[in-house]
Chain A
């Protein structure tokens, strides 16, 4: 996955790293092109070999999105659930794109190649996702997010990827496997906005870490060097 340069995203990322009273928000917006690098192609081959005899159009089960209970309560009055679908599915190519995005974003510390498809889920709607994000960032950051950042963030994302035309996925690993929990985060999310036509994914991740947490070995000098 090739990281696309986007100065407005860089600007937003700077704003998404906020120091608050007892916590720190660490957010990241990245835009990736679904063009596979040669390294990706090697991984794609390995990815296909791992599962016995699967092909790229095979579907795999996804997990449930976080806070799915709220969504079902909200929409139960409007539309009945689709017949016969207990669970969302994903094809392996898309799953590989999501995994490759995670790998590219968290390089070199993490490798998500062995993640199960059940750690990912399909978000039911854009409104639902916006609601979840606004809720988390709004309650944590207060007015700084709601009045200043929120509008800019969503409109910039819309310009980059046309949010209405996206399939939205999220990554929900168990707590002990979550990179956010390595820093002792209170909460964290990983959203993928996948525009099939543009062949592009906008990856939006954010977490809230307590500021008093000593997140590494070594002295402050080495810490400042690694956070370049």
Chain B
């Protein structure tokens, strides 16, 4: 009578029940829920209906969707304490809250807010004060010009609101320039670029290898942030400034690509030989310089300083003193 194989009947559940199951499942898996994962633990659910419900929950703001590789993952979104038991005094507050929520990271000018809802000035102010007390909205400056902008409490304001204090090398409380911070950042950036440059070759060809050597300021910024060398106040622009400084020092090469500037470590073309750095090459008094004259190699300051540098340590400098310097 019965067949030997079972067919599991996929029931179409009531939407609210399904929502609850999905939300609980997402809560239980904070790392993110994918289609296959859901299927393996709840084989009785109709996957198609689940997908529709999941997307609906995302649009309602209860779940967040993000991509990991090629798969989409759903994550349970923690509501802020204020939102969990949000209670609006009247319709005006709710309308204002909705308009502000729509404005996202940029926020909305209070005058535009008033005019889009059509509410009088005093009512608007009272409603905003009440929402502010409930920690649902906040005011941000400086906005464009001198406008007073409002946005949701727990949203991170857009970049335009973060006043540039001058970078990590400016002391915040005194406003003084700290060269050590800048130097440290430069050294660390250079070390990172050098490491990237010296990575073992993976035999993918010269062009591909050279391309790998280049790093964008964003990648460098990410590296420095991960190593906790810089904090959130340092922007990618500041990292770009550091890289440009290294370019001016000729330790790093910059290339302008379609996505912005990229940098790579600059290896010296050849080792500088000691002889090529002899100061006589660019001395303005070579003509007058003779042994035992007023200007002579024995009394030459630049010559003695050059002798002391590391490159000349191995060389025999003594015989050179008695030789007329080459023009």
| Chain A neighbourhood of B37, CB < 8 A | none
The tally of residues in A whose CB lies under 8 Å from a CB in B reads 27
Q: Which of A21-29, A104-112, A192-200 contacts B (4 or more CB under 8 A)?
A: A104-112
Q: In residues 104-129 of chain B, which contact A (Cβ within 8 Å)? A: 109-112, 114-121, 124-125
Known pairs A108-B148, A217-B116; A114 contacts B142 (CB<8 A): yes
A36 to B124, CA, bound (A): 25
B147 beta carbon closer than 8 Å to chain A: yes
Say whether A228 faces chain B, with CB atoms less than 8 Å apart: yes
Q: Pick from A58-66, A70-78, A132-140, A218-226 the stretch touching chain B.
A: A218-226
Binds B, one of A120-128, A160-168, A172-180, A202-210: A172-180
Question: Which of A106, A179, A218 counts the most chain B CB atoms within 10 A?
Answer: A218
In the complex, are the beta carbons of A115 and B146 less than 8 A apart? yes
Evaluate contact between B121 and A108: CB separation under 8 angstroms.
Answer: yes
Beta-carbon contact of A177 and B145 below 8 Å: yes
In contact, A52 and B120 (Cβ under 8 angstroms): no
Inter-subunit contact A222/B145 (CB<8 Å): no
A113, CB-defined interface residue at 8 Å: yes
For B120, the chain A residues whose CB sits under 8 A away are 225-226, 228
CA distance A223 to B111 in the complex (A): 11
Does A7 interact with chain B (Cβ within 8 Å)?
no
A52 to B148, CA, bound (A): 24
A-B contact count (CB 8 A): 69
B146 and A52: CB pair below 8 A? no
- Contact A109:B145 (CB < 8 A) given known A218-B116, A222-B115: no
Cβ contact within 8 Å between A226 and B121: yes
Report chain A residues within 8 Å CB of B124.
Answer: 108
Q: Distance (Å) between the CB of B202 and the closest chain A CB?
A: 51
Chain A residues positioned under 8 Å from B145 (CB to CB): 110, 173, 176-179, 182
Q: Is the CB of B174 within 8 A of A110?
A: no
A69 within 8 A of B: no
- DSSP majority for the A interface? loop
User: A80 an interface residue at 8 Å Cβ cutoff?
Assistant: no
Q: Are B173 and A110 in contact (CB under 8 A)?
A: no
Quick check: is B175 within 8 A (CB to CB) of the other chain?
yes
The answer on a CB contact under 8 Å between B115 and A113 is no
CB contacts (< 8 Å) of A218 on chain B: these are 115-118
Does B141 interact with chain A (Cβ within 8 Å)? yes
Q: List the B side residues contacting A114 at CB < 8 Å.
A: 141-142, 146
**Using an 8 Å CB-CB cutoff, how does the interface string of A88-130 with B read, 1 for contact, 0 for none?**
0000000000000000001011111111000000000000000
- 24 CB contacts below 8 A, A to B, read A108-B125, A109-B109, A109-B147, A111-B142, A111-B146, A111-B147, A112-B146, A113-B141, A114-B141, A173-B145, A173-B146, A176-B144, A177-B145, A178-B145, A179-B145, A179-B146, A217-B116, A218-B115, A222-B115, A222-B118, A225-B120, A226-B119, A226-B121, A228-B121
Question: Footprint of B on A, CB under 8 Å?
Answer: 52-53, 106, 108-115, 173, 176-179, 182, 216-219, 221-223, 225-226, 228
The 8 A-B pairs with the shortest beta carbon distances in the complex, nearest first, are A222-B118, A177-B145, A52-B175, A216-B115, A218-B115, A110-B146, A114-B142, A109-B111
